[in-house]
Amino acid sequence: MLKPGDGKRVVVGMSGGVDSSVAAALLVKKGFQVIGITMCFNLPESSGRRPNCCGRQGIEDARRVAHKLGIRHYVLNMQKALSEKVIKNFCQEYLRGRTPNPCVRCNQYLKFGLLLEKAIFLGASHLATGHYSRIIKTKEGYSLAKAGDLSKDQSYFLYRLGQKQLKYILFPLAGYKKEEVRHLAKEFGLAVAAKPGSQEICFLPDQKDYRPFLEKQSRGRIKRGKIVDKEGNILGEHKGIPFYTIGQRQGLGLAMGYPAYITRIDYRSNQITIGAKDEACGREFLIREPHFAAGSPKKKVALLVKIRYNHKEAPAYIERSGRVFKVRFLRPQFAITPGQSAVFYSRSIIVGGGIIDRVLN
């Protein structure tokens, strides 16, 4: 871990928001040589009340903060990388009836991929961001853990970071709460102290609805299809596979006489299956693209598993058979959704995770 005042160079990924701005200010205060870099995606500005994290306003806010702190600031164009690594996958997954998590891929390939490479190229010893998460160093290496403020914890989105990345990363806000960060922003005299948080998916022009974006990107590939029950009886018509997700209840346009939820999405047959809530629950699923911070388990292990960001992690067994990893919850969980990430925790420490591929039962 870096020591205060050692003069080492640290690059800070500055989005123009309060979190990354305070992260930079804390490092300057501790005596590090700080350089700010803002990723530019050439995105249209949000029409909503919350700003884009990497839009024009974000770049200008980051530049003003850098000037206030007396540090150098650069803008790095990552439009092509965003399109190839994040947006392309986002659209492909939805067209296949899956629900992707673009923030996970952005962290893996852009923020802690290309941006980290740029930081090292500039002679920095570390890359810092405003994420709420902790990095713990042990004799075995580095581990990613939950933040001190569990209500803001972002470790779920960072689970694909490995040893080669973690040793170069700093999270200055690891032990802070959000209200403390805003108070610090005021103390540092940063103009972004009261700025609202950015939207979750930066490349969506309308943060409330991804559907118009998908329609434009799909170029006519989205087709209407059948809504059926588990026996195959036709109940109605859906507007297109990409517009729905497992566990969804609203927007079906059906009056069933009971609360109906989406239980299965089959892009091959272009069909959506609905049923009662218990039919949208499952216990066992397979993952693809497994990632483990310090080596994959050789035998069955008991861990806590989180199947989406706002899901309360639950006890499960993770079992490996060759290259296949199977997860089995002790109790059924609602809406195990292909495309989302399943992240494995041992208490507050991330052991690994993967992308939910297929629900078995």
Query: Which residue type is seen at 37?
Result: I
Decide if pLDDT at 306 tops 80. yes
Residue 203 has a pLDDT of 82
* Contact indicator for 65, 28 with CB cutoff of 8 Å: no
pLDDT tens per residue, range 114-152: 999 999 999 999 999 999 999 999 888 999 999 999 999
User: In whole numbers, what is the pLDDT of the chain averaged over residues?
Assistant: 91
Decide if pLDDT at 347 tops 70. yes
- 3-class DSSP string for 267-302: CCCCEEEEECHHHHEEEEEEEEEEEECCCCCCCCEE
DSSP 44: P
Percent of the chain exceeding pLDDT 70 equals 93
Decide if pLDDT at 86 tops 90. yes
pLDDT tens per residue, range 296-305: 888 899 999 9
Decide if pLDDT at 53 tops 70. no
Tokens of residue 297, six digits? 């388990």
Q: Which residue has tokens 């990107």?
A: 217
The whole-model pTM stands at 0.91
Q: Give the angle 89-18-174 at the CA atoms, nearest 5°.
A: 80
pLDDT bin (cut points 50, 70, 90) of residue 322 is: confident
Tokens of residue 250, six digits? 């609203």
Catalytic residue among 40, 103, 106, 281: 106
Decide if pLDDT at 107 tops 70. yes
pLDDT tens per residue, range 257-305: 889 999 999 999 999 999 999 999 999 999 999 999 878 888 899 999 9
pLDDT tens per residue, range 204-251: 866 667 888 899 888 889 999 999 999 999 999 999 999 999 999 988
Catalytic residue among 40, 53, 54, 202: 202
**Per-residue CA distances from 250 to 62, 213, 340 (Å):** 39, 20, 20
Asked about 53 being catalytic, the answer comes back as no
pLDDT bin (cut points 50, 70, 90) of residue 321 is: confident
Count of CB atoms situated within 10 Å of the CB of 282: 20
First-to-final CA distance of the chain? 45
Asked about 202 being catalytic, the answer comes back as yes
pLDDT bin (cut points 50, 70, 90) of residue 3 is: low
d(CA 303, CA 345) in angstroms, rounded, equals 6
User: Which residues lie below 8 Å from residue 268, measured CB to CB, with a gap of 6+?
Assistant: none
d(CA 254, CA 257) in angstroms, rounded, equals 9
- At 166, which helix (H) or strand (E)? helix 163-166
pLDDT tens per residue, range 175-190: 999 999 999 999 999 9
